[in-house]
Chains A and B, each alone.
Chain A
Amino acid sequence: MSADVSPVFLVNGSTGELVAAELRDGIDELDLQHWEHNWRPYLVERVKEMQAQGVPREKWPQQLHWNWRYKARVAEMFLGQRGFAIRCEGMTQGLMLVGLVSDARIEEQRGKPLVYVDYLETAPWNQSSLQRPPKYRGVGSLLMNAAVSLSLEETFGGRTGLHALPQSETFYRKNCAMTDLGPDAAKQNLRYFEMTPDQAQAFLKGGK
């Protein structure tokens, strides 16, 4: 898949300076290699450290089992799925897969199409729970911004939805100001979050 590339900026977690990065419309082989050869070993090493320190399992990274190579291959088969990557200084810093065939659940938007964020992950060195300070800040927000922008392009009004892993709930509730519709029994009781068109406008203006 060839990717369209847009210039974006991340924040250096140590200095607070802006760093030029790329938002890529598509996940390609290089991103998957970065996930396999850089993200995975880092994550596995951190989990071993946590295990040795007796950190309870629920505090381990919850996206540990995600296989981006498999997810990207499946997504390529469907028109209704799109992948995005953020690269900075030659390394993939975040990945996201979205679906385009889901409907809104919030009462006043019910039945209207939205962009559903299937998976969103930032490189482990950008996660403050794994590295302090994180190498780059802003990866998750940029990817969510891409999801909301896609929703607008699709004339979905910015409507965006997702099921959040427990460790990410605060990000979606506070940083993205999405509505928390509570646990979803059909999705391993993960909490479902949704953004209305008004919330999408506020999110894009806020630039968090």
Chain B
Amino acid sequence: MTEPTKRTMTLNLSDEEMSVLDSLAQQKDVTKTAVLRQALRLYQMVSVRRARGEKLVFENDETKEKAELMLL
């Protein structure tokens, strides 16, 4: 399968942000680039669905308690 053309960019992160990125990459067993691409995909999905008037809700698996994530 051919990979789509990709462009390169420089990203400036604080130590704290880089530490979170490192930790997520390790925890998820993917590269840091993959974490950022996942974040972009999720952010775009949330943005599109919120623009359609949908809400982002977290539900506790055990208690079934729901909490809406407020994005301003």
Contact = CB atoms under 8 A, between A and B. Distances in A.
Contacts of A150: 1
A155 B34 contact: yes
B10 interface: no
Given A79-B44, A80-B42, A101-B41, A146 B28 contact: no
Q: DSSP majority for the A interface?
A: mixed
Contacts of A80: 41-42, 44-45
A64 interface: no
Contacts of A100: 38, 41
Given A112-B30, A156-B30, A77 B48 contact: yes
| Interface majority SS (helix, strand, loop, mixed), chain B | helix
Contacts of A112: 28-30
A6 interface: yes
A101 B2 contact: no
A4 B41 contact: no
A6 B44 contact: no
B28 A111 contact: yes
B23 interface: no
Interface residues of A, number: 22
Contacts of A113: 28, 30, 34, 38
Interface in B1-46: 1-4, 27-31, 33-34, 37-38, 40-42, 44-45
A5 interface: yes
Nearest to B44: A79
Contacts of A23: 1
Interface of A: 4-6, 23, 25, 77-80, 100-101, 111-113, 146, 149-150, 153-157
